[in-house]
Amino acid sequence: MNRPTLDNWRQPPHLVWSLRHMRELVPTAQIRCHSSMCVLDPAPADGLLDLVFAGTRQEWRLGDYLDQTETDALVVLHDGRVVLEWLAPGIRDDEPHLLFSVTKSVVALLAGALAGAGLLDLDAPVTQYITKGAGAFAGASVRHLLDMTASFDYVEDYSPGIDFAEYAIANGLHPAPLDSPGLRGFLSTRSPEGEHGVVFRYLSPTTDMLGWVCEAAAGLPLPVAIAQYIWEPLGAEADGHITLDRAGTAFAAGGMSAIPRDMARVGLLVAERGAGIVPQGFVDDLIHGGDPAPWAAGDFADWLPGGCYRSCWYQPRVDPDCAMAVGIHGQMIYVDRPRNVVVAKQSSWSDADDSDNSTDAYLAARAICRALAADAPDARITLH
Amino acid sequence: MDRPTLDNWMRPPHTRWSFRHVRELIPTARIRHGHHPSELTYEPAGNLLDLHFESTSGRRVLGEYLATTDTDALVAIKGDAVALEWLAPGIRNDEPHLMFSVTKSITALLCGALVGADKIDVDLPVITYVPEVADSGFGDATVRHLLDMEASYAFVEDYSPGPDIVLYRNSAGWYPAPPDHMGLHEFLRTRQKQDEHGERFRYMSPTTDMLGWVCEAASGLPYALAVSQYLWVPMGAEADADITLDRFGTPRAAGGLSATPRDLARLGRIVADNGAGIVPADYIEDFVNGGDPSHWAIGDYADWLPGGCYRSCWYQPRVDPDCVMAVGIHGQMIYVDRPRGIVVVKQSSWSEPDNNDLHSDAEYACRAIARALGSDSPVAV
């Protein structure tokens, strides 16, 4: 039985197994669910898989798109009910799947909950919580971390480039020599570069810094804080987990795994304006707030023109009142608040971050929302 | 927050945290429970904590013993009823706790279930199932030798730790090792024969890792799936368990399983109930009657358990007929009193791995509980 190892888990053809078995590859901490889960009633929308949408390269039938583009699971909620739960052959609905950078969006919701509990001031400097080791983040505010506008010397190149390779060794997702500094050591030794708060720079370690701030503010290890402030109140139905480095530091920028329905429940929290778990103002702000200027000058402006990244959620801005969480290899939560639709997608794309693939996922989710709300003139199906 | 790391997790004062958080230190595979846990009622036996028993250092009171000897949890069941569930302050009953060598006894029950499914014949050579070890010290051993800890190869089980244990734990992922270190399979393949198999009890943990490999090969399933399918689901476990993996995904079938106390009580009930339809009855009955005490008498642990025996990874104290126990370092135990239908599970985080007196005290405490619960009268104090 030659299963993937830490050396090759993120290469095809291993991804489809690896992303649902992270705990077998690295140490993980449980993110405990509560015994009282939020029940999602089924209300199947017949014909949704026959929905046709225009992708970047071709027109797709949704069912074919899911079949042919390495999707593992797709859950669609409309008015809080499950209208579609699609699973690729061999995929179970109770296996936690790596969320990659959707983890960032969960950690940001935790930051919001901690702000609501009076434990975290989002406008405070990072050094108010991290008195030793903030390094290049010393002049940044918590808000800079949330909006990915902290600036330091780092290149996010998944191919992987030098920085990303060093980062993967530090966070434990790549085999590490015995003297590896770990995630905290990595964060503490970044060099300053440019000003904070000016440009959207998608640098994953920024969210690890946010995770560190949340731990310090909550006085709890990150997995316990996520469980207590998000996972339990959310009514998650299964334990999630998060990868740890050798010192036990959770990988806040990309290490969380959750089952598809629980991923959808995270979207529901946003659709329901915080659901009493995260302050309404914080959730409204992640959909409407933020400054488009740093985005326009930033790393992903070509991918999502006119968009914004606020509190670790993307605002497409083409559709007002919609927000999405995106992770490499095809992870996504799309929330359409006016139509009250949530789409959660888990995938094992061979490509980490092909922008056409990412756009197609977004276009598929958007088409689903419109079809369900029956306001899509181009929808070629009738939904009951 | 400086939590324990792989460098120090098995040393005091870290053991209490580490043994309930192994998955945070080492990769683990989930051992899934089913959708239908078997119900255990709660019928507390009045003053059981006031029970007196004779320890190696004189008469002790059970409650005081548990509170002062690094016990984390103790659960005693009689039939389907929990008679005692004791948890140390800060310990929850839903946290899987590392069971160390009690894992061996679970692996042996898996082997029994696979015998029942006609997938393993314990009298066949190991290489029938795992030809990869033909050139190793296991090349001419049988599955039965593995089950009874009578395989013989060069290895010294010294938890201080000695060099063999260090290499072994490096291979299993239990100690920090360079990223290109060999895994457990390579470790097993490179053991060298020493003396003859089947002549005396030699307690060498890798022997049971070899048994785990046999179970995986014979069942065609990874260990965690096999334990889930053949034991955890049928016995009605209420929680997931887990097993540590090396960097290639090889399970530490000799010591890496963590489980909740109640689920271990359910596991003990398989032994109390003659296999409970999950493991063949004759395989279980053989735990108490089978084995060759003469091999034990010249073996590694004869001083600790005189007149005893080790059969299919379960110890026979032979003091009370028909009682067997599973024992792990740092104070893990499942004690099964079959005639009285009683199972006692103990989880601990002893600072010392392997102190004979501590092991004996745990055995005496469990026996006293079983006898007290087994008497028709209320608990005799």
CATH number of the structural domain spanning residue A30: 3.40.710.10
Is A267 part of any domain? yes
Which residues of B touch chain A, with CB atoms under 8 Å apart?
Answer: 1, 3, 5-6, 21, 23-30, 176-180, 216, 222, 242, 245, 247-249
Quick one: which H or E segment has residue A113? helix A102-116
Using DSSP's 3-state secondary structure scheme, residue A356 falls into helix
Is A171 part of any domain? no
Q: How many domains does chain A have?
A: 1
* A171-199 average pLDDT score: 95
Please check the confidence at residue A345 and state whether its pLDDT lies above 70: yes
Q: How many CB atoms lie within 10 A of CB B5?
A: 18
Question: How many whole angstroms separate alpha carbon A372 and alpha carbon A380?
Answer: 12
Nearest to A334 by CA among A349, A348, A318: A318
User: What's the pLDDT band for B381 if we cut at 50, 70, 90?
Assistant: very low
Q: What integer pLDDT is reported at residue A46 of this predicted model?
A: 87
Please check the confidence at residue A383 and state whether its pLDDT lies above 60: no
Which residues of A touch chain B, with CB atoms under 8 Å apart?
Answer: 1, 3, 5-6, 21, 23-30, 175-178, 215, 221, 241, 244, 246-248
Please check the confidence at residue B376 and state whether its pLDDT lies above 80: no
Q: What angle do CA A264, A270, A276 make, to 5 degrees?
A: 110
Tell me what the pLDDT averaged over chain B comes to: 95
Contact B136, B192 (CB under 8 A): yes
Is A29 part of any domain? yes
Q: What integer pLDDT is reported at residue B288 of this predicted model?
A: 85
* B123-131 average pLDDT score: 98
Provide, rounded to the nearest whole percent, the portion of chain A with pLDDT above 90. Answer: 91
How close does chain B come to A2, measured CA to CA in Å?
8
The model's pLDDT over A224-270, given as tens digits with 9 standing for 90+, comes to: 999 999 999 999 999 999 999 999 999 999 999 999 999 999 999 99
Tell me what the pLDDT averaged over chain A comes to: 95
Check CB contact under 8 Å for A29 and B24: yes
Residues pairing with B226 in the sheet: none
Using DSSP's 3-state secondary structure scheme, residue A366 falls into helix
Is A37 part of any domain? yes
Region of B87 on the Ramachandran plot (φ > 0 left; ψ -120 to 50 alpha; else beta): beta
Q: How far is CA A343 from the centre of its chain?
A: 13
Q: Which residues of A are catalytic?
A: 101
Is A358 part of any domain? yes
- Tokens 């669609």: give the residue: A76
ipTM for the whole complex = 0.94
Of B27, B179, B216, the CB nearest to A24: B27
Is A183 part of any domain? no
Of A27, A178, A247, the CB nearest to B178: A178
Instruction: Determine the structural domain holding residue A254 and report its residue range.
Output: 15-122+220-372
Check CB contact under 8 Å for B247 and A175: yes
Q: What integer pLDDT is reported at residue B120 of this predicted model?
A: 98
Q: What integer pLDDT is reported at residue A90 of this predicted model?
A: 95
Q: Which residue has the higher pLDDT, B61 or A34?
A: B61
Check CB contact under 8 Å for B26 and A24: no
Please check the confidence at residue B319 and state whether its pLDDT lies above 90: no
Please check the confidence at residue A376 and state whether its pLDDT lies above 60: no
Residues of B in contact with A33 (CB under 8 A): none
Q: Which residue has the higher pLDDT, B88 or B47?
A: B88
Residues of B in contact with A5 (CB under 8 A): 247-249
Is A157 part of any domain? no
Q: Which residue has the higher pLDDT, A304 or B378?
A: A304
The model's pLDDT over B219-244, given as tens digits with 9 standing for 90+, comes to: 999 999 999 999 999 999 999 999 99
List the structure tokens of A92: 């179970």
Pairing relationship of beta strands A71-78 and A81-87 according to DSSP bridges? antiparallel
With CA atoms as reference, the chain A residue closest to B94 would be: A32
Please check the confidence at residue B379 and state whether its pLDDT lies above 80: no
CA A359 to each of CA A113, A302, A304, A316, A363: distance values in angstroms, whole numbers, following the listed order: 30, 11, 8, 11, 6
Q: What integer pLDDT is reported at residue A52 of this predicted model?
A: 97
Which stretches of chain B are DSSP H helices? 15-18, 62-68, 102-116, 143-147, 163-172, 184-189, 206-219, 223-227, 261-272, 281-289, 293-297, 356-374
User: What's the pLDDT band for A380 if we cut at 50, 70, 90?
Assistant: very low
Question: How many whole angstroms separate alpha carbon B168 and alpha carbon B157?
Answer: 10
Which stretches of B290-344 are DSSP H helices? 293-297
Please check the confidence at residue A378 and state whether its pLDDT lies above 80: no
Please check the confidence at residue B293 and state whether its pLDDT lies above 60: yes
Predicted structure pTM score? 0.96
Contact A308, A295 (CB under 8 A): yes
Q: What integer pLDDT is reported at residue A319 of this predicted model?
A: 87
List the structure tokens of B96: 């899987």
User: What's the pLDDT band for A159 if we cut at 50, 70, 90?
Assistant: confident
User: Chains A and B: how many Cβ contacts under 8 Å?
Assistant: 60
Question: How many whole angstroms separate alpha carbon B95 and alpha carbon A224?
Answer: 14
In chain B, how long is the greatest CA-to-CA distance?
61
Q: What integer pLDDT is reported at residue A379 of this predicted model?
A: 46
Provide, rounded to the nearest whole percent, the portion of chain A with pLDDT above 70. Answer: 97
Domains of chain B: 25-374 (3.40.710.10)
The model's pLDDT over B103-118, given as tens digits with 9 standing for 90+, comes to: 999 999 999 999 999 9
Across A74-83, A350-359, B167-176, B371-380, least confident range: B371-380
Nearest to B188 by CA among B114, B254, B271: B254
User: What's the pLDDT band for A312 if we cut at 50, 70, 90?
Assistant: very high
Is A7 part of any domain? no
Q: What integer pLDDT is reported at residue A384 of this predicted model?
A: 35
Q: What integer pLDDT is reported at residue B76 of this predicted model?
A: 98
Pairing relationship of beta strands A313-315 and A256-258 according to DSSP bridges? unpaired
The model's pLDDT over A315-339, given as tens digits with 9 standing for 90+, comes to: 998 888 999 999 999 999 999 999 9
Q: Which residues of B are catalytic?
A: 101
Q: How many CB atoms lie within 10 A of CB A88?
A: 16
The model's pLDDT over B165-188, given as tens digits with 9 standing for 90+, comes to: 999 999 999 999 999 999 999 999
The model's pLDDT over A94-116, given as tens digits with 9 standing for 90+, comes to: 999 999 999 999 999 999 999 99
Q: What integer pLDDT is reported at residue A300 of this predicted model?
A: 94
Please check the confidence at residue B378 and state whether its pLDDT lies above 70: no
Question: How many whole angstroms separate alpha carbon B23 and alpha carbon A26?
Answer: 9
User: What's the pLDDT band for A375 if we cut at 50, 70, 90?
Assistant: low
